Homo-oligomer: A and B are copies of this chain.
Amino acid sequence: MSFNTFGHIFRVTTWGESHGPALGCTVDGVPPGVALAETDIQPWMDKRKPGQNKFTTQRKEPDEVRILSGVFEGVTTGTPIQLMIENTDQRSKDYGDIAQAFRPGHADITYHQKYGIRDYRGGGRSSARETAARVAAGAVARAVLARMVPALRITGYMVQMGVKGIDRTRIDLAEVDRNPFWCPDPVAAGEWAAYLDDLRLSHNSVGAVIEVVAEGVPAGLGAPLYGKLDSDLASAMMSINAVKAVEIGDGMAAAALTGVENADEIRMGPDGPEFLSNHAGGILGGISTGQPVVCRFAVKPTSSILTPRQTINTRGEELDLVTKGRHDPCVGIRAVPVGEAMMACVLLDHLLLDRAQTGGARGRIG
């Protein structure tokens, strides 16, 4: 069952609401003997946390993580790790309309329809604030991966903001940390700043496409047929707030290819099989090939905008609603570290799952 838990062996259960006293997650199935401290987690939290520049929400949250269990004398013990983040900037305010009205594009109406009750403060459980817990769990996964697969490297970046994409010939991963958009193309980053400013000032918002690449993934990860690496990635990414599509490798573009074009031909290199292309995004039959695992997802524009939109309230009355507050004009920006975290969690989970069934043994080639 998976109301609030994801993963098979490395299992993360998140809890908490946007404006409750705290939120967090229980991370279970962590291998024992891995060095772990709050300082290993905090940098990833800081990458996601709000209020860092004018392109993200002005809510100020330090997002300080506390480890409450599962670590003893600086090392994981194999028991569940509880990570707690206190909410400090839940402004007391009059929720007025919001308490009864359904903000278009938000989960307000569906939570009401399903549960008959909802915590309307900041979206409650459906707030993107929940992704702080994912990033914390992802940091734990990274710490374990760093030990089990030292060569593994996970990098997320934005490849499209609204109607503006990047020029892939200009991709430079060193650029990613140098602009507020995690954009690998410095030219595009400059254009996006102006573009997003305009949108923000016109009380609008915009969507984005994020790409997450994992290099150094061992071949053989994935549990066909219903725990395939790609289907688990699809589920993980689609579960992030506002995501509407997930692509692996060529993704939707694969539909337009011919079989001759799409075949990733294989040659024998000094260290084993080498592929001449990576249309597959590093996954065949749900199992990793050893090539980079490439995953993209589309984030819809922030639904909270200052432009009035038509809606109804719980009494069935029609009204025009303006969503005031502190909102990200492009929520996709902060989805970058979240996508990385989900990739880390899924890969570690499959690494553990694979050694359960196969012991991590690999069929030889050559």
CB distance from A56 to the nearest CB of B (A): 15
Interface string of A5-24 (1 = CB under 8 A from B): 11011010111110011111
Q: A69-B15, A222-B110 are in contact. Are A254 and B316 (CB under 8 A)?
A: no
The reply to whether B107 and A287 form a contact with Cβ atoms under 8 Å apart is yes
The quantity of this chain's copies bound in the complex is: 4
B residues near A2, Cβ cutoff 8 Å: 8, 223, 226-227
The reply to whether A365 and B234 form a contact with Cβ atoms under 8 Å apart is no
Interface string of A224-248 (1 = CB under 8 A from B): 1111101111111111010011111
Report which of B80, B260, B276, B360 forms a contact with A14, defined as CB distance below 8 A: B80
- State the CA gap A12–B24 with chains docked (Å): 15
The reply to whether B263 and A309 form a contact with Cβ atoms under 8 Å apart is yes
- State the CA gap A263–B205 with chains docked (Å): 11
The reply to whether A223 and B3 form a contact with Cβ atoms under 8 Å apart is yes
- State the CA gap A363–B20 with chains docked (Å): 22
B residues near A251, Cβ cutoff 8 Å: 244-245, 252, 298
B residues near A332, Cβ cutoff 8 Å: 255
The reply to whether B300 and A257 form a contact with Cβ atoms under 8 Å apart is yes
CB distance from A332 to the nearest CB of B (A): 7
Report which of B26, B107, B262, B305 forms a contact with A4, defined as CB distance below 8 A: B26
Report which of B115, B224, B232, B311 forms a contact with A363, defined as CB distance below 8 A: B115
- State the CA gap A75–B116 with chains docked (Å): 11
Interface residue tally for chain A (C-beta within 8 Å): 163
CB distance from A88 to the nearest CB of B (A): 14
B residues near A280, Cβ cutoff 8 Å: 105, 244
Cβ of A194 < 8 Å from any Cβ of B? no
Report which of B69, B262, B305 forms a contact with A105, defined as CB distance below 8 A: B262
Cβ of A359 < 8 Å from any Cβ of B? yes
The reply to whether A255 and B160 form a contact with Cβ atoms under 8 Å apart is yes
Cβ of A117 < 8 Å from any Cβ of B? yes
Interface string of A247-291 (1 = CB under 8 A from B): 111111111111111111111100001001001110111111110
The 9 closest A-B pairs by CB, nearest first: A107-B285, A316-B366, A205-B259, A116-B363, A110-B287, A356-B356, A235-B235, A207-B255, A245-B251
Known contacts A268-B316, A273-B312; 4 further A-B pairs (Cβ under 8 A): A13-B28, A115-B363, A130-B225, A228-B239
